[in-house]
Amino acid sequence: MTARTVISEYVLEPGTGKAIELLTGQILRIEQVEGGQCADFNAFNLHDYKEFMHCGRTRTVHGFHPTAGNFLWSAPPRERAMLYILEDTVGRNDVLFPRCSAYVYEAAYGFAVHTNCHDIQAEAQREYGLTPDDVHDSFNLFMCTGVDQDGHAFMTRQTTQAGDHVDLLALMDVLAVPNVCGADVMKTSNFALKPLKLTVFAATAADMALVPSTPKLESQRTPKDFKISAIKSDRPLRRDPAYRAEFPNTPIRITDLPVALSPDEVALFNAVKRSDIYGDDDAAALRDLLFSWWEERFLQAHAGAPAIGGKS
Amino acid sequence: MTETVITLRLNQQQLELMDRTIAQGVAADRVALVRLALREYAAVRQAEITAKPAP
Protein backbone atom coordinates (compact mmCIF):
# COMPACT_ATOMS: atom_id res chain seq x y z
CA MET A 1 0.00 0.00 0.00
CA THR A 2 1.30 3.49 -0.85
CA ALA A 3 2.23 5.54 2.21
CA ARG A 4 0.60 8.87 2.76
CA THR A 5 2.72 11.95 2.07
CA VAL A 6 2.99 14.38 4.97
CA ILE A 7 2.20 17.92 3.85
CA SER A 8 2.51 19.74 7.16
CA GLU A 9 2.76 19.19 10.90
CA TYR A 10 1.79 21.51 13.71
CA VAL A 11 1.45 21.31 17.47
CA LEU A 12 -1.57 23.03 18.93
CA GLU A 13 -0.54 24.38 22.29
CA PRO A 14 -3.07 24.52 25.13
CA GLY A 15 -5.35 27.54 24.82
CA THR A 16 -4.90 27.78 21.06
CA GLY A 17 -6.41 26.77 17.75
CA LYS A 18 -5.32 26.87 14.12
CA ALA A 19 -7.15 27.52 10.85
CA ILE A 20 -5.85 25.18 8.16
CA GLU A 21 -6.60 25.17 4.45
CA LEU A 22 -7.45 21.54 3.86
CA LEU A 23 -7.94 20.83 0.19
CA THR A 24 -10.04 18.11 -1.39
CA GLY A 25 -8.22 14.82 -0.95
CA GLN A 26 -6.16 15.93 2.02
CA ILE A 27 -6.40 14.39 5.47
CA LEU A 28 -6.20 16.25 8.76
CA ARG A 29 -5.05 14.03 11.62
CA ILE A 30 -5.86 15.37 15.07
CA GLU A 31 -3.74 13.40 17.49
CA GLN A 32 -3.30 13.09 21.22
CA VAL A 33 0.18 14.09 22.42
CA GLU A 34 -0.22 13.13 26.07
CA GLY A 35 -3.76 11.75 25.97
CA GLY A 36 -6.94 12.95 27.63
CA GLN A 37 -7.49 16.10 25.55
CA CYS A 38 -10.72 17.18 23.84
CA ALA A 39 -10.51 19.05 20.53
CA ASP A 40 -13.26 21.30 19.22
CA PHE A 41 -13.57 21.59 15.46
CA ASN A 42 -15.18 23.99 12.97
CA ALA A 43 -15.14 23.71 9.19
CA PHE A 44 -16.11 26.08 6.38
CA ASN A 45 -16.22 25.76 2.62
CA LEU A 46 -12.92 27.47 1.77
CA HIS A 47 -14.51 29.26 -1.20
CA ASP A 48 -17.81 30.23 0.47
CA TYR A 49 -17.73 30.54 4.24
CA LYS A 50 -21.53 30.62 4.40
CA GLU A 51 -21.39 26.87 3.87
CA PHE A 52 -20.24 25.39 7.15
CA MET A 53 -20.36 22.18 9.11
CA HIS A 54 -23.73 21.49 10.75
CA CYS A 55 -23.74 19.36 13.87
CA GLY A 56 -27.54 19.09 13.75
CA ARG A 57 -27.60 17.42 10.35
CA THR A 58 -24.56 15.33 11.27
CA ARG A 59 -26.22 13.96 14.40
CA THR A 60 -29.50 13.13 12.66
CA VAL A 61 -27.59 11.09 10.10
CA HIS A 62 -24.92 9.49 12.29
CA GLY A 63 -26.09 9.84 15.89
CA PHE A 64 -24.56 11.64 18.84
CA HIS A 65 -21.09 10.11 18.48
CA PRO A 66 -19.86 10.31 14.87
CA THR A 67 -16.89 8.08 14.20
CA ALA A 68 -15.01 6.30 11.42
CA GLY A 69 -17.21 5.78 8.40
CA ASN A 70 -19.35 8.85 9.10
CA PHE A 71 -19.45 12.20 7.33
CA LEU A 72 -19.49 15.77 8.61
CA TRP A 73 -22.31 17.55 6.77
CA SER A 74 -22.89 21.18 5.87
CA ALA A 75 -26.03 23.03 6.89
CA PRO A 76 -29.21 23.19 4.80
CA PRO A 77 -29.77 24.09 2.06
CA ARG A 78 -26.25 22.99 1.04
CA GLU A 79 -26.28 19.63 2.88
CA ARG A 80 -23.12 18.26 1.39
CA ALA A 81 -20.65 15.83 2.90
CA MET A 82 -17.74 18.14 3.72
CA LEU A 83 -15.42 15.69 5.45
CA TYR A 84 -15.25 11.96 5.95
CA ILE A 85 -14.03 10.40 9.18
CA LEU A 86 -11.52 8.02 7.74
CA GLU A 87 -10.03 6.71 10.95
CA ASP A 88 -10.80 7.01 14.64
CA THR A 89 -8.75 5.05 17.15
CA VAL A 90 -11.07 5.87 20.07
CA GLY A 91 -14.58 6.11 18.65
CA ARG A 92 -15.93 8.59 21.17
CA ASN A 93 -16.69 12.02 19.72
CA ASP A 94 -19.57 14.37 20.38
CA VAL A 95 -22.10 16.52 18.54
CA LEU A 96 -24.38 17.15 21.52
CA PHE A 97 -22.51 19.90 23.31
CA PRO A 98 -21.94 23.40 21.99
CA ARG A 99 -18.51 24.96 22.36
CA CYS A 100 -17.67 26.21 25.83
CA SER A 101 -17.69 29.98 26.09
CA ALA A 102 -16.54 32.87 28.25
CA TYR A 103 -20.11 33.23 29.50
CA VAL A 104 -20.07 29.66 30.82
CA TYR A 105 -16.88 30.23 32.78
CA GLU A 106 -18.02 33.55 34.17
CA ALA A 107 -21.53 32.42 35.06
CA ALA A 108 -20.67 29.00 36.48
CA TYR A 109 -17.14 29.49 37.81
CA GLY A 110 -16.69 33.25 38.29
CA PHE A 111 -13.78 33.69 35.84
CA ALA A 112 -13.34 37.16 34.34
CA VAL A 113 -11.18 35.56 31.66
CA HIS A 114 -10.73 31.85 30.94
CA THR A 115 -9.65 29.77 27.96
CA ASN A 116 -12.81 28.78 26.10
CA CYS A 117 -13.52 27.14 22.78
CA HIS A 118 -15.63 29.93 21.35
CA ASP A 119 -13.00 32.59 21.84
CA ILE A 120 -10.17 30.27 20.78
CA GLN A 121 -12.07 29.41 17.61
CA ALA A 122 -12.82 33.09 16.96
CA GLU A 123 -9.18 34.03 17.34
CA ALA A 124 -8.04 31.25 15.02
CA GLN A 125 -10.73 32.08 12.44
CA ARG A 126 -9.77 35.79 12.55
CA GLU A 127 -6.71 34.86 10.46
CA TYR A 128 -9.18 34.37 7.59
CA GLY A 129 -11.32 37.43 8.25
CA LEU A 130 -14.13 35.69 10.10
CA THR A 131 -15.78 37.28 13.13
CA PRO A 132 -16.79 35.82 16.50
CA ASP A 133 -20.34 35.52 15.13
CA ASP A 134 -19.08 33.08 12.48
CA VAL A 135 -17.99 30.42 14.97
CA HIS A 136 -20.47 27.57 14.72
CA ASP A 137 -21.48 24.51 16.72
CA SER A 138 -18.46 22.33 17.19
CA PHE A 139 -17.67 18.72 16.43
CA ASN A 140 -16.04 17.72 19.69
CA LEU A 141 -13.35 15.11 19.18
CA PHE A 142 -12.48 12.69 21.97
CA MET A 143 -15.27 14.17 24.13
CA CYS A 144 -17.07 11.51 26.14
CA THR A 145 -20.73 12.46 26.43
CA GLY A 146 -24.19 11.00 26.73
CA VAL A 147 -27.77 11.86 27.64
CA ASP A 148 -29.09 11.25 31.14
CA GLN A 149 -32.58 10.06 32.05
CA ASP A 150 -33.78 13.63 32.51
CA GLY A 151 -32.82 14.44 28.92
CA HIS A 152 -29.75 16.51 29.75
CA ALA A 153 -26.47 16.00 27.97
CA PHE A 154 -23.64 15.04 30.28
CA MET A 155 -19.89 14.81 29.84
CA THR A 156 -17.43 12.57 31.59
CA ARG A 157 -13.73 11.79 31.56
CA GLN A 158 -12.02 10.33 28.52
CA THR A 159 -9.57 7.44 28.28
CA THR A 160 -7.55 8.52 25.24
CA GLN A 161 -3.82 7.82 25.15
CA ALA A 162 -0.88 9.44 23.38
CA GLY A 163 -1.11 8.60 19.68
CA ASP A 164 -4.88 8.21 19.59
CA HIS A 165 -6.16 10.14 16.61
CA VAL A 166 -9.01 10.99 14.29
CA ASP A 167 -8.36 11.38 10.55
CA LEU A 168 -10.67 13.75 8.68
CA LEU A 169 -10.59 13.53 4.89
CA ALA A 170 -11.68 16.67 3.03
CA LEU A 171 -14.31 16.01 0.36
CA MET A 172 -14.25 19.67 -0.64
CA ASP A 173 -11.76 22.47 -0.06
CA VAL A 174 -12.36 23.54 3.54
CA LEU A 175 -10.99 25.82 6.18
CA ALA A 176 -10.56 23.32 9.01
CA VAL A 177 -10.26 24.82 12.47
CA PRO A 178 -9.34 22.56 15.37
CA ASN A 179 -8.62 23.91 18.83
CA VAL A 180 -7.50 22.55 22.16
CA CYS A 181 -10.66 22.66 24.26
CA GLY A 182 -10.28 25.31 26.94
CA ALA A 183 -12.03 23.35 29.68
CA ASP A 184 -9.66 22.56 32.55
CA VAL A 185 -12.25 22.78 35.31
CA MET A 186 -14.58 20.21 33.75
CA LYS A 187 -14.25 16.48 33.15
CA THR A 188 -14.02 17.05 29.36
CA SER A 189 -10.24 16.75 29.20
CA ASN A 190 -9.69 15.13 32.60
CA PHE A 191 -9.10 18.48 34.32
CA ALA A 192 -5.98 19.54 32.41
CA LEU A 193 -5.05 21.31 29.18
CA LYS A 194 -2.62 19.45 26.92
CA PRO A 195 -1.28 19.93 23.40
CA LEU A 196 -2.62 18.21 20.31
CA LYS A 197 -0.68 17.34 17.19
CA LEU A 198 -2.00 18.20 13.75
CA THR A 199 -0.75 16.50 10.63
CA VAL A 200 -1.95 17.11 7.09
CA PHE A 201 -1.48 14.22 4.68
CA ALA A 202 -2.24 13.75 1.02
CA ALA A 203 -4.78 10.94 0.86
CA THR A 204 -3.77 7.88 -1.08
CA ALA A 205 -5.91 6.21 -3.69
CA ALA A 206 -6.66 3.55 -1.10
CA ASP A 207 -7.90 6.23 1.32
CA MET A 208 -10.16 7.75 -1.32
CA ALA A 209 -11.54 4.34 -2.23
CA LEU A 210 -12.87 3.96 1.31
CA VAL A 211 -15.27 6.88 0.95
CA PRO A 212 -18.83 5.81 0.15
CA SER A 213 -20.69 7.88 -2.41
CA THR A 214 -23.49 10.11 -1.18
CA PRO A 215 -26.56 11.17 -3.15
CA LYS A 216 -26.24 14.28 -5.31
CA LEU A 217 -29.71 15.83 -5.36
CA GLU A 218 -31.46 18.94 -6.68
CA SER A 219 -32.30 19.94 -3.11
CA GLN A 220 -28.62 20.58 -2.32
CA ARG A 221 -28.83 24.25 -3.25
CA THR A 222 -26.10 26.87 -3.56
CA PRO A 223 -26.22 30.68 -3.79
CA LYS A 224 -27.01 30.50 -7.51
CA ASP A 225 -30.35 29.00 -6.47
CA PHE A 226 -31.14 31.60 -3.80
CA LYS A 227 -33.61 34.45 -4.32
CA ILE A 228 -31.06 36.59 -2.48
CA SER A 229 -27.55 35.38 -3.23
CA ALA A 230 -25.50 38.33 -1.95
CA ILE A 231 -24.36 38.18 1.66
CA LYS A 232 -26.04 40.84 3.80
CA SER A 233 -23.37 43.31 4.80
CA ASP A 234 -24.99 45.46 7.47
CA ARG A 235 -26.39 44.53 10.87
CA PRO A 236 -29.91 45.95 11.22
CA LEU A 237 -32.84 43.98 9.79
CA ARG A 238 -35.27 45.97 7.68
CA ARG A 239 -38.41 44.73 5.97
CA ASP A 240 -38.31 44.56 2.16
CA PRO A 241 -41.49 46.35 1.04
CA ALA A 242 -41.38 44.46 -2.27
CA TYR A 243 -41.38 41.08 -0.54
CA ARG A 244 -44.04 38.64 -1.68
CA ALA A 245 -44.07 35.27 0.03
CA GLU A 246 -43.24 32.30 -2.22
CA PHE A 247 -43.34 29.32 0.10
CA PRO A 248 -43.04 26.05 -1.82
CA ASN A 249 -46.05 23.79 -2.27
CA THR A 250 -48.46 26.35 -0.86
CA PRO A 251 -51.31 26.66 -0.38
CA ILE A 252 -51.68 23.27 1.23
CA ARG A 253 -54.80 21.72 -0.28
CA ILE A 254 -56.78 18.96 1.40
CA THR A 255 -58.42 16.18 -0.59
CA ASP A 256 -60.89 13.70 0.84
CA LEU A 257 -60.20 10.04 0.17
CA PRO A 258 -63.08 7.78 1.25
CA VAL A 259 -61.88 4.26 2.05
CA ALA A 260 -64.43 1.49 2.45
CA LEU A 261 -63.32 -1.15 4.95
CA SER A 262 -64.85 -4.60 5.32
CA PRO A 263 -65.86 -5.82 8.79
CA ASP A 264 -62.61 -7.82 8.95
CA GLU A 265 -60.58 -4.75 8.05
CA VAL A 266 -62.43 -2.68 10.61
CA ALA A 267 -61.56 -5.30 13.21
CA LEU A 268 -57.89 -5.11 12.20
CA PHE A 269 -57.99 -1.33 12.34
CA ASN A 270 -59.65 -1.27 15.75
CA ALA A 271 -56.96 -3.60 17.07
CA VAL A 272 -54.06 -1.39 16.05
CA LYS A 273 -55.32 2.19 15.76
CA ARG A 274 -53.77 4.79 18.05
CA SER A 275 -56.87 5.80 19.99
CA ASP A 276 -54.55 7.01 22.75
CA ILE A 277 -53.52 9.84 20.46
CA TYR A 278 -56.48 10.32 18.11
CA GLY A 279 -59.46 9.38 20.30
CA ASP A 280 -62.53 8.87 18.13
CA ASP A 281 -60.94 10.48 15.06
CA ASP A 282 -60.61 7.33 12.96
CA ALA A 283 -59.64 9.34 9.87
CA ALA A 284 -56.58 10.74 11.63
CA ALA A 285 -55.75 7.32 13.07
CA LEU A 286 -55.94 5.67 9.64
CA ARG A 287 -53.77 8.42 8.11
CA ASP A 288 -51.22 7.81 10.87
CA LEU A 289 -51.31 4.08 10.15
CA LEU A 290 -50.81 4.67 6.42
CA PHE A 291 -47.69 6.79 6.78
CA SER A 292 -46.31 4.79 9.70
CA TRP A 293 -46.56 1.74 7.44
CA TRP A 294 -44.85 3.66 4.65
CA GLU A 295 -41.95 4.56 6.95
CA GLU A 296 -41.56 0.96 8.09
CA ARG A 297 -41.63 -0.43 4.58
CA PHE A 298 -39.84 2.16 2.48
CA LEU A 299 -37.82 4.61 4.56
CA GLN A 300 -34.08 4.07 4.09
CA ALA A 301 -32.91 6.46 6.79
CA HIS A 302 -33.50 7.29 10.40
CA ALA A 303 -36.66 9.40 10.78
CA GLY A 304 -35.93 13.01 9.86
CA ALA A 305 -32.55 12.23 8.29
CA PRO A 306 -31.64 12.08 4.61
CA ALA A 307 -31.09 8.64 3.10
CA ILE A 308 -27.41 8.32 2.23
CA GLY A 309 -27.21 4.60 1.58
CA GLY A 310 -28.19 2.89 4.82
CA LYS A 311 -28.96 3.66 8.44
CA SER A 312 -25.38 4.42 9.47
CA MET B 1 -71.73 -7.32 4.13
CA THR B 2 -71.69 -3.88 5.73
CA GLU B 3 -68.75 -1.71 4.90
CA THR B 4 -67.46 1.12 7.03
CA VAL B 5 -66.26 4.18 5.19
CA ILE B 6 -63.46 6.22 6.73
CA THR B 7 -62.63 9.41 4.88
CA LEU B 8 -58.96 10.30 4.99
CA ARG B 9 -58.02 13.96 4.66
CA LEU B 10 -54.75 14.17 2.75
CA ASN B 11 -52.78 17.06 1.37
CA GLN B 12 -51.13 17.22 -2.04
CA GLN B 13 -47.74 16.16 -0.72
CA GLN B 14 -49.14 13.11 1.03
CA LEU B 15 -51.05 12.20 -2.13
CA GLU B 16 -47.86 12.62 -4.17
CA LEU B 17 -46.03 10.14 -1.95
CA MET B 18 -48.93 7.71 -2.26
CA ASP B 19 -49.01 8.09 -6.04
CA ARG B 20 -45.25 7.55 -6.38
CA THR B 21 -45.61 4.41 -4.26
CA ILE B 22 -48.49 3.21 -6.44
CA ALA B 23 -46.39 3.87 -9.54
CA GLN B 24 -43.89 1.33 -8.21
CA GLY B 25 -46.59 -1.31 -8.54
CA VAL B 26 -47.24 -1.63 -4.82
CA ALA B 27 -51.01 -1.19 -5.16
CA ALA B 28 -53.55 -0.51 -7.88
CA ASP B 29 -54.83 2.81 -6.57
CA ARG B 30 -54.96 5.03 -3.49
CA VAL B 31 -57.72 3.10 -1.75
CA ALA B 32 -55.96 -0.18 -2.40
CA LEU B 33 -52.77 1.30 -0.98
CA VAL B 34 -54.52 2.29 2.26
CA ARG B 35 -56.06 -1.16 2.61
CA LEU B 36 -52.68 -2.81 1.94
CA ALA B 37 -51.10 -0.57 4.56
CA LEU B 38 -53.76 -1.60 7.07
CA ARG B 39 -53.27 -5.32 6.45
CA GLU B 40 -49.47 -5.17 6.54
CA TYR B 41 -49.29 -2.81 9.51
CA ALA B 42 -51.70 -4.99 11.50
CA ALA B 43 -49.82 -8.14 10.54
CA VAL B 44 -46.56 -6.72 11.87
CA ARG B 45 -48.22 -5.71 15.13
CA GLN B 46 -49.84 -9.15 15.44
CA ALA B 47 -46.48 -10.83 14.82
CA GLU B 48 -44.91 -8.71 17.55
CA ILE B 49 -47.62 -9.75 20.02
CA THR B 50 -47.20 -13.42 19.07
CA ALA B 51 -43.41 -13.23 19.39
CA LYS B 52 -43.52 -11.58 22.82
CA PRO B 53 -42.78 -14.13 25.57
CA ALA B 54 -45.51 -14.72 28.12
CA PRO B 55 -44.97 -12.78 31.39
Closest Cβ–Cβ partner in A252, A258, A268 for B38: A268
Strand pairing report for A165-170 and B4-11: unpaired
Q: Measured between CA atoms, how close is B4 to chain A, in angstroms?
A: 5
Determine contact: A271 vs chain B, CB below 8 A: yes
Which domain range does residue A277 map to? 263-297
Which domain range does residue B19 map to? 12-51
pLDDT for residue B48 is more than 90: no
pLDDT digit string, tens, across residues A157-193: 999 999 999 999 999 999 999 999 999 999 999 999 9
Q: Are A231 and A258 in contact (CB under 8 A)?
A: no
Rounded Cα gap, residues A81 and A46, in angstroms: 14
Rounded Cα gap, residues A115 and A209, in angstroms: 40
Chain A residues whose CB is inside 8 A of the B4 CB are 260-261, 263, 266
pLDDT digit string, tens, across residues A268-299: 999 999 999 999 999 999 999 999 999 999 99
pLDDT for residue B54 is more than 90: no
Question: Do A100 and A153 belong together in one domain?
Answer: yes
Closest Cβ–Cβ partner in A252, A258, A269 for B11: A252
Question: Do A53 and A146 belong together in one domain?
Answer: yes
CB contact under 8 A, A271 and B45: yes
Examine residue B46 and state whether it is found in any structural domain, yes or no.
yes
Determine contact: A261 vs chain B, CB below 8 A: yes
Alpha helical stretches, state H, A164-301: 205-209, 263-272, 275-278, 282-298
Examine residue A241 and state whether it is found in any structural domain, yes or no.
no
Question: Do A104 and A162 belong together in one domain?
Answer: yes
Using alpha carbons only, how large is chain A's radius of gyration in Å? 24
The amino acid present at B14, given as its one-letter code, is Q
ipTM for the assembly: 0.94
